[in-house]
Amino acid sequence: MTALRIAILTHSTNPRGGVAHCLALAEALCTLGHEAVVHAPDPAGAGFFRDAACPTVPVAARSVGGTTVDLVRTRINDYLRHFATPAACDFDLFHAHDGIGGNALATLKHRRLIPGFVRTVHHVDRFAEPLLAEWQDRSIREAARLLCVSRSWADWIADDLGTRADVDDAGTSA
């Protein structure tokens, strides 16, 4: 097995399900001999809600007031600043766990800084705000490979988006 250097992106350092999943996935990948590095916007500079047995990188993030659209746009841009150079993109694989990271990676792909990315879908929200819905859809459609943490969301993606998503029945998408 060739060890991979993997950038895993999550939306925050807070104790949320998707963030906990990212840390657990990275820790499992590190146990297998890979270098899985979890990146997250960290506007407070406080780090993750728990110690991690994998490398973590706090992404410099701006404070945001205003709407959810303002927050999501700012977090996407925080990631774009963080990964703005080829040196910052020195990973074998990029893996987003939410629409924020997925949109940043889709933009980096279009800028030819990365070849593509994997996206894990934990759930799909229904947004009244069209731009949030568009960003969520883009983060799923532009991924080179989709993973889901449940069969129900994989089925929804197939039915509503016409795209295949793999499910890890053991509960850890890799």
Confidence (pLDDT) at 55:
96
Range(s) of the domain holding residue 93: 5-167
The pTM of this model reads: 0.90
Structural domain includes residue 174: no
User: How many independent structural domains does the chain possess?
Assistant: 1
Structural domain includes residue 172: no
pLDDT digits (tens, 9 = 90+) for 9-50: 999 999 998 899 999 999 999 999 999 999 999 999 999 999
> What string of DSSP letters covers 27-75?
HHHHHTT-EEEEEEE-TT----SS--SS-EEEEP-----S-HHHHHHHH
Q: Tell whether the model's pLDDT for residue 1 goes beyond 90.
A: no
Confidence (pLDDT) at 17:
87
pLDDT digits (tens, 9 = 90+) for 92-103: 999 999 999 999
Structural domain includes residue 150: yes
